[in-house]
């Protein structure tokens, strides 16, 4: 799945949550195209430090196609105001509101929208998109509706954070394995080097991140890179020891020297659960200590 495809999945899920949680008849939104915008820098009604516009790509509950593909410029209309201010904005009667500009009135009127709210999607102080919810009647949108809209936007933000982290880790992993690839017959010495410790940390981080990735293609890519990292300096697996993915996750962090408490924090588990996985992995590997388990896992190509 492409990045645009993943964006669509994440946005559709957020819009569905927004309508389900509020009963609003329509929700729509999109992400930045052509750049990003720096949050919280307002000059003369427009945002400084960034380029691009939000293109409305996903609609839920629309009865026309008037809003689809609409490019929302920073500062223009309700969504543009939310982008510029980096905070939620709402109007009760869109066509006559004096608090917004009216570049998009034709599309809004075609869909019959009156009460509208817009919530920006902000990741690490960079505005990445906007979500809307609307009524076809002129009535105030209450605090509960606003809270649900903000929560839906946070869902998109978290998904974008995870994807950004995944891409960064993939790049770091590819960079870190460069020395190993160039080493050829000296792979053994690379495996013991400081550079290879970075590979092992990247391997553990990728495995911990994979379950949180919404995009199935990106998740598979993460796991495939984990497999390449694990086998980069190891001989072919001599036997299948039957470790579960979570047991490998735990061993991956133990291999970096992490304690059970740190491993639990990185994997989102309880320390007791980590101990249970570790005991199970040790039993399957025929190991009596944590170190023996790590060594055995490396010998079988499960860990880098």
Q: What is the pLDDT of residue 136?
A: 96
The enclosing domain of 278 has a CATH number of 1.10.10.10
Q: What is the pLDDT of residue 46?
A: 38
Q: What is the pLDDT of residue 32?
A: 84
Q: What is the pLDDT of residue 13?
A: 86
74 and 154 in one domain? Answer: yes
Query: What does the H/E/C string look like for 24-70?
Result: CCEEEEEEEECCCEECCCEECCEECCCCCEEECCEEECCCCCCCCCC
In tens, the pLDDT along 100-146 reads 999 999 999 999 999 999 999 998 888 999 999 999 999 999 999 99
| Domain span at 281 | 177-299
In tens, the pLDDT along 46-65 reads 333 345 689 999 999 999 99
Q: State whether residue 303 is helix, strand or coil.
A: coil
Q: What is the pLDDT of residue 44?
A: 38
H-state helical runs in 177-244: 178-183, 187-191, 194-209, 216-231
Number of CB atoms found within 10 A of residue 58's CB: 22
148 and 99 in one domain? Answer: yes
Q: What is the pLDDT of residue 189?
A: 47
Low-confidence ranges of the chain (pLDDT < 70): 1-7, 33-52, 172-196, 214, 231-240
Q: How many domains does the chain have?
A: 2
Q: What is the pLDDT of residue 235?
A: 56
291 and 197 in one domain? Answer: yes
Q: What is the pLDDT of residue 4?
A: 57
Model's pTM, two decimal places? 0.63
239 and 134 in one domain? Answer: no
């Amino acid at each position: 799945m492409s990045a645009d495809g993943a964006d669509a999945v994440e946005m559709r899920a957020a819009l569905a949550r927004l309508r389900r949680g509020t009963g609003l008849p329509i929700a729509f939104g999109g992400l930045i195209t052509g750049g990003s915008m720096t949050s919280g820098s307002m000059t003369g009604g427009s945002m400084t430090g960034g380029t691009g516009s939000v293109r409305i790509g996903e609609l839920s509950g629309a009865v026309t196609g008037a809003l689809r593909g609409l490019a929302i410029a920073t500062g223009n209309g309700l969504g543009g105001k939310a982008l510029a201010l980096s905070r939620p904005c709402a109007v009760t009667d869109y066509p006559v509101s004096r608090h917004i500009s009216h570049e998009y009135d034709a599309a809004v009127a075609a869909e019959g929208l009156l009460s509208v709210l817009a919530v920006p999607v902000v990741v690490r102080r960079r505005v990445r998109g906007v979500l809307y919810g609307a009524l076809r009647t002129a009535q105030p949108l209450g605090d509960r509706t606003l809270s649900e809209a903000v929560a839906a936007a946070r869902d998109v933000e978290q998904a974008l954070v995870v994807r950004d982290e995944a891409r960064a880790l993939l790049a770091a992993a590819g960079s870190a394995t460069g020395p190993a690839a160039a080493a050829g017959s000296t792979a053994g010495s690379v495996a013991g080097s400081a550079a290879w410790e970075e590979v092992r940390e990247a391997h553990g981080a990728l495995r911990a991140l994979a379950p949180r990735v919404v995009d199935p293609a990106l998740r598979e890519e993460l796991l495939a890179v984990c497999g390449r990292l694990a086998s980069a300096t190891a001989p072919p697996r001599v036997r299948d020891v039957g470790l579960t993915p979570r047991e490998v996750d735990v061993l991956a962090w133990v291999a970096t020297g992490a304690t059970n408490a740190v491993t639990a924090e990185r994997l989102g588990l309880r320390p007791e659960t980590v101990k249970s996985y570790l005991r199970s992995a040790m039993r399957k590997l025929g190991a009596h200590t944590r170190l023996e388990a790590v060594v055995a896992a490396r010998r079988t190509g499960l860990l880098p």
